[in-house]
Structures are given as structure tokens and as C-alpha cells.
Structure 1
Amino acid sequence: MSGFDRPEAAPRLLGAVTVVLTAAAGALDAVTFFAFNEVFASTMTGNLVLLGLDVGRGNWLGTAEALCAIGGYVVGLAAGTVVAGLVMRRLPWRNAVGVALTVELALLVLVGAGWYGLSDPDTQTMRAILMVAGGAAAMGVQAAALRYVGPTGTPTNFLTGTVTNWVSAMVELHKPRWDGNSALRIVVIAVAAGAGAVIQLNAPALTYALPVLLVLIAILLMARVTRLNHGGLVEGGPEFAHAPEPDDDEELRAVVGRVHGPDGHGTQAVLTLVGPDGNQVGREETDHEGRYRLHAPSPGVFTLLCLPVDGPPRVATVALESGTTVYDVKSTHALDA
């Protein structure tokens, strides 16, 4: 499932952000691939395989290369998550994404300064380690930021799941669909890596400029997304496209309530209502105070799935006949029934 199953006010522009960042990941992987014995800055699956191969062959010195990338990515992922979380205490998630991407750009600039500054032959090992660990940290920050794009997050530097969901969605018997954003990201990461390889062969000194430029473009696009959605740095929360208006019968049958976070206050979440037959019949994002409203097309016993932004998923069973059923989702248990 793509992060754009419930697009907001500027879905194409927000989609462009993810495509540009995916290109940045591919371009940076090309840099680190040539800089440090074919290690990737963003593709941790490949680095884990390389680590296992080196351990299996007894190449203990070789494990340092993959460990630099994996360690840098973990540190960047943790830092990006903390930064985004702190911003989201006061500002909408769009601003959190923009701030995290700005941190990523600053990190890439610092790594680039060290990369170009360490030109002495005696510092080449340190130079390579700086590029791989620093580049991986930047990709970790980017991954943390893109967790907030769309209800399910939108990966830009680990695309195995994207390929799986894209292909499965196209051939699904129940309701096949085409996900253009996933297709673009799959293609663009390969194209950007190829472009990085071409630049490396013809103008090695300029290879690093490509991912930095792409991240800068993504930040500018994200700033535009923020302005289009309530246009300020203070106002506005996640605002997804409005669901179709329910008919009169559905209007009389609804479940409403509030999602409570660990502190007892309302928290943002994505809720899905699943019918007795196992099919999704409604999906809604809460407002900034945790309130939600979902309509059912017919009477029955429904499953309510809740994915809060600051807690574990929760599941509840609700019986809907007619009228409005009130159900508040608490944070005390992972399973509410």
C-alpha cells in the first residue's frame, strides 16, 4: 500500500517530493558504492548481506565497511525520528518532514565538506568512512521523515516492499489498481544510480553534488506543500481528501469517538473499519484532538483498527445497528475488545 491511498490537498506535489528523494537515495548509493568497496548508503538489506558474507568468509576487516553504513543509518534514523517528533509537538507533520529534510541536507553538506577537504592521500580511509557513515546517517534521517508522508508512510530508500505492494496491487483479484507513485520511485532509483555512475566515470568530483541538489529540490517542494495546506508554519494539521458523502442510511449508522494517547489526551491516528466479510468499509484520520467518525454501509459486527502516531496498534470489535455508537480508543492495551 502506498502512502497516497488517502491523498491530501497537494497529492501530486507531495508525490514529487518522494520521487525526488528516491532519486537522491539512488544517486548517493552510487557515490558510496564507488567510495568504499561497494557499500550502500541507503540500502541496508544489501549491507546486511555483505556483512554476513564477510563474517562467513572470515573477512573480519571487511565487516567494518558494512558496519559503518549500518551504524550510520541507525544513528540517522534515531536522530530523524527524534527531530520529527519534537517538531510535531507544536507543528503539523508537513513541517516535521520539512525540518527533518533540512537536517538531512545540513548533514550532507557537512559530509561533503569533509569529503572534499580530506584530499591528502594519507586520509583516504578516513575520507571513505566519513562518506559512508555520514551518507548513511543522512539516509536514516530521510527515512524517518518519510514515515509521516501518508497514513502508511512512503519509503524512498528501501523499495523491496514497494515493489511487492505495487505488483500485488495490480494483479489483486478483488480490486486491482495502478499505483503510479510506486512505479516512479522504482524506476527513478535505478535511473539516478545510473546517472551517478556516469558522472563518476566522467567527472568524479561532481558525483556528490547530485544527491545534495536533489535533497535541496525536495525541501523546496515540501515547503510548497506546506504552504498549500493552510500555508503557515503554525496552523494546519494533516488534511486528507474528503471521503464521499454517505447516503442517508449510512449517516444513521456510524461509530464515533476519540483516540487517547499514553498521557490520556487525544492523539492523532488512522482508523480503519473492516466489515464482517473482511473488506475495508471505511478509513479516516482523526483531527488533532483525536476525534474520528466512521460510517458503516449495513448493520453488523465490525472490526475497528487503530494506528496511533505515538503508540501501538489497537483492535476493537464494535456492533453497529442504527444510530451513532460511541467508542473511545484507549492507550492502555494493544488489544481493546
Structure 2
Amino acid sequence: MSEQSSTDPKTAGDPEARGLRLVIVLLGLTVVSGLIDAVSYLGLEHVFTANMTGNVVVLGFAAAGAPGFSVAHTLTSLGSFVVGAAAGGRGAVRLGGGSRRTWVRLTLAAEAVLLGISAVVAFAAPGATATAYTLIAVTAFAMGLRNATVRKLGVPDLTTTVLTMTLTGLAADSRAGGGHGTRSPRRTASVIAMVAGATLGAWLVLHHGLGIPLAISAGLVAVLAVAASGRE
């Protein structure tokens, strides 16, 4: 994708070039992932709804009878994520051949609505068993929807939910690892974004419950949906 500025006459009239670049949008979504996993892991019996790698490990812990983990919660998260990813795949097939900007904005709008619903549920019935399952299912579905979209977009080093390969690339491609470190700023920003989201999310969960971090997540995704362009 072009790295030309929005003032370049070649891109000034292009709707795809208007708004925030996808790199910035995906970094914002990485912050949201940290918030969401703080809510789910700290507030919903140690389950992840954004990071499915961690969830598979958690499922093993729960199946072995480790205290503080729930097989039912983890399976709910995994199942909802997979359904969301399937929905995201269908959306990519339907919308991916048209405007990239429109496709991204519609997907993020759907995520914002789902997270907003989760926030309303968390405020309306805190602590209820049905609330826990609803929050797990809805947020995991939203993350699956987003992950399928991000995968199809294929922006390097910005998956928004997992950092294992990002950290591997950061180290392996660094000058210390014999590389040139050309993507280090993007990879470093991704790690910082996740840590920032997780830190903020954990503080909010511990001091204010689940509703506020979910509401903040919904609001941030809504802003990104409105502002996103179609270029990297």
C-alpha cells in the first residue's frame, strides 16, 4: 500500500485514503484486546476471549482440575470465537472484493455494537451466572469476527490479539539477531499497545468492575470504525 501522505494529489481524491491508516487502527484494536482479556481473565474465572492460544492452555488446566478455571466458560469462549471467525470469513467474502474502507468500517461497527451490548449486560446484572456466560460468548464472538477480518487484511505484524510471532520477529530480525530491524517500531508499538490495554483493563476491573472497561472498549472501537481508512 502507498505510504504517501493524504495531501498528495494522487491520493487526495481517493476515499480509501481518507481517515486513519490501518496500522494506527490495528494498534488501537490491540489496546482493546488487552482491555477485553483483562475483563475476561480477571472477571470471568480466568478465561480469555481475545487470546485463543491462552484459552487452549487454560482449557487444559481446567480439564486437569486446576482451581480457578472453568471448562464450561473456556469452551463457551472457544466456540463463540470460532462462530465469530466464521461470520468474519463470510463477511470478507461478501465485502472484501469492494471498498476496503467500507469493509473495515462495517466490521468494526459490528464489534463496537457487540462490545456495547456486553457493557450494558455487565452494568445491568453484575455477578449473575447468565451475565458471565453472555459476556464470554458476546466478546469472544466479537473477537473472532475481528480476527477473521484482520487476517484477511494481512497487515504485517499486527494481528491485534497475539504477540508470540511479533516478539519472535522483533528479536530474530533485530540487529542483535542478525537482521536489519526494519519493522521493529511497528512490532514494538504492538507490544506496548497490548500492555497498555491490559494494564488499563486490569485497573478498571479491579477498582470499577466489568462494565466500564467494556464501555470504553466499545467507544474506542466505534471511533476507529468511523475514522478508519482503507490504506496501510
TM band (smaller chain): 0.7 to 0.9
Q: What SS does structure 1 have at the residue aligned with 2:117?
A: helix
CA distance in 2: counterparts of 1:99 and 1:108, whole angstroms: 14
In structure 2, how many angstroms separate the alpha carbons of the residues matched to 1:20 and 1:174? 28
Query: Aligned match of 2:64 in 56, 65, 76?
Result: 56
Q: Which residue of 2 aligns with 1:140?
A: 144
Residues 1:108 and 2:115 aligned together? yes
Match of 2:101 in 1: 94
CA contact (8 A) 1:20 1:217 kept: no
8 Å CA contact 1:25, 1:189 repeated in 2? yes
Q: Deviations over 1:41-91 (max 9, x none)?
A: 1111111111112223388x92111111111111111111211221124x1
Q: Are positions 1:191 and 2:196 aligned together?
A: yes
Distance 1:199 1:54, change over 3 A: closer
**3-state SS in 2 of match to 1:37:** coil
Name the structure 2 match of 1:278.
none
1:313-333 residue CA offsets vs partner (Å, 9 max, x unmatched): xxxxxxxxxxxxxxxxxxxxx
The 8 Å contact of residues 84 and 145 in structure 1, kept in 2 or not, is answered as yes
| 151 and 58 in structure 1: CA distance in 2 versus 1, 3 angstrom threshold | closer
Letter in 2 for 1:210: I
Instruction: Report the counterpart of residue 12 of structure 2 in structure 1.
Output: none
1:177 CA drift (Å): 2.4
Instruction: Tell me the secondary structure at the aligned position of residue 96 of structure 1.
Output: helix
**Runs of at least 5 residues in structure 1 that lack an aligned partner in the other structure:** 1-5, 230-239, 241-337
Return closer, same or farther for 1:117/1:151 CA change in 2, 3 Å cut-off: closer
Secondary structure (helix, strand or coil) at the match of 2:153 reads coil
Asked whether the equivalents of residues 17 and 218 of structure 1 are also in contact (C-alpha less than 8 Å), the reply is yes
| Separation in 2, partners of 1:54, 1:36 | 14
Contact 2:115 2:218 in 1 (8 A): yes
DSSP-derived class of the 2:174 partner: helix
Using the TM superposition, give the Cα deviation of residue 169 of structure 1 relative to its aligned residue in structure 2, in angstroms: 1.6
CA 1:9 to 1:197, structure 2 compared with 1: closer, same or farther past 3 Å? same
| Residue in structure 2 matching 1:20, options 28, 31, 43 | 28
Letter paired with 1:202 = H
Separation of aligned partners in 1, 2:155 and 2:28: 20
- Hey, what does 1:317 align to over in structure 2? none
Residue 39 of structure 1: aligned partner: 47
The amino acid across from 2:165 in the alignment is: G
Q: What does residue 223 of structure 2 align with?
A: 217
Count of matched residue pairs: 216
Q: CA deviation at 1:111?
A: 2.6
Report the counterpart of residue 153 of structure 2 in structure 1: 149
User: In the alignment, is residue 67 of structure 1 matched against residue 83 of structure 2?
Assistant: no
> 1:188 corresponds to which letter in structure 2?
A
Aligned residues of 1:80 and 1:141 also touching (Cα < 8 A): yes
Q: Match for 1:155: what amino acid?
A: T
Q: Computing the radius of gyration over CA atoms, which structure comes out larger, 1 or 2?
A: 1
Distance 1:151-1:127 versus aligned 2 partners, 3 A rule? closer
| Aligned counterparts of 1:185 and 1:163: Cα–Cα separation in 2 | 9
In structure 1, the residue matched to 2:214 is 208
5+ residue gaps in structure 2? 6-16
Q: Within 1, Cα distance between the matches of 2:161 and 2:66? A: 29
Larger mean Cα displacement after TM superposition, 108-117 or 210-219? 108-117
AA aligned to 2:151 is: R
**Structure 2 counterpart of 1:27, one-letter code:** L
Aligned letter for 2:29?
L
- 2:172 counterpart of 1:168: yes
1:298-317 mapped onto 2 (5 Å cutoff): none
The one-character-per-residue Cα deviations of 1:126-163 (angstroms, maximum 9, x if unpaired) are 10011111111111111112124346573001121111
Taking a change above 3 Å as real, the CA distance of residues 176 and 36 of structure 1, as seen in their structure-2 partners, is closer
In 2, Cα distance between equivalents of 1:141 and 1:215: 13
The Cα shift of 1:216 comes to: 1.5
Shift, 1:109, TM fit? 2.0
Give the structure with the larger strand fraction: 1
- Counterpart among 181, 186, 191 of residue 181 in structure 1: 186
Work out the CA distance in 1 between the residues paired with 2:71 and 2:179. Answer: 46
Q: Residues of 2 paired with 1:206 and 1:152: CA distance?
A: 31
